[in-house]
Amino acid sequence: MKHPVVSKAVWLRERMALLRREKAVTRELDLLALERQKLPWVEIEKAYTLETANGATSLKDLFGDKRQLSIYHFMYGPKWSAPCDGCSGWADAFNGTLDQIQCHDANLIAVSRAPIDMLNRVRKERGWTFTWASSYNSDFNSDFNMSNLQDSEPVMVGDELISFDRGESGGINVFVKQEDRIFHTYSAHNRGIQQMNGAFGYVDLLPLGGN
């Protein structure tokens, strides 16, 4: 892309035109956030147990003392030699910002299907402090369409086509806890989750994009 070089006055006029579009998109995103909050809930009736660095942990216990739980599905299969590079970048991005999420009565953790010893090794090497749970002995990833144990063929869920890399898919699931009841409230897969990674926002501001 060739960029013209113009006067400050011309640049300001172009910038203001773009600003009006940016403000419109911001207002639309605000409305989308409200619609997201209004989605109906599905009660989780199955008991899930995942492995963490502290041992076997129920889905309920992963909330900690918070009422809301966001789970980032980190692509790392049990036969992989290394975790997904893209997911590792996501982990770097949210590792140091958990306190900002927790102050909103929410916890954020990562879940992968690789066994816990593999997760603990990578977590130590990378210096990550977030909770990283293994669903190796659980149906959790499969039940929420984050792992395809049969093959890596895409799967249609409703109107959404979910793709897999060696049986694993990246995405986010959100849950809420009310006393002893847990509800699934939201999910997003693949290219539906960029907004949750702040680094991508900075890349979008660059004149050369992500090149």
Mean pLDDT value across residues 4-18: 95
pLDDT of 152 higher than 90: no
pLDDT of 205 higher than 90: no
Helix axes 116-126, 85-95, angle to 10 degrees: 60
What pLDDT sits at residue 163?
Answer: 86
Architecture of domain 42-198 in this structure? 3-Layer(aba) Sandwich (3.40)
Bridge-based pairing state of the strands 132-134 and 106-112: parallel
What are the residue boundaries of the structural domains of the chain, listed by start?
A: 8-38, 42-198
Name residues whose C-beta falls within 8 Å of residue 135's C-beta, 6 or more positions apart in sequence.
48, 50, 111, 112, 113, 141, 147
What pLDDT sits at residue 55?
Answer: 95
Bridge-based pairing state of the strands 160-162 and 155-157: antiparallel
* Tokens linked to 99: 């306190």
The conformation of residue 81, written as its DSSP 8-state character, comes to S
Give the amino acid at 11: W
Residues 187-193: contacts with CB within 8 Å, 24+ apart?
187/144, 187/145, 189/145, 189/146, 189/160, 189/162, 190/162, 190/163
Q: What is the pLDDT of residues 181-196, one digit of tens each?
A: 999 999 988 766 777 7
Q: Which of 174, 132, 189, 193 minimizes the C-alpha distance to 44?
A: 174
Q: What is the pLDDT of residues 51-75, one digit of tens each?
A: 999 999 999 999 999 999 999 999 9
Cβ atoms of 49 and 138 closer than 8 Å: yes
Q: What are phi and psi of 153, to 5 degrees?
A: -70, 145
C-alpha 24/C-alpha 7 separation (Å) is 26
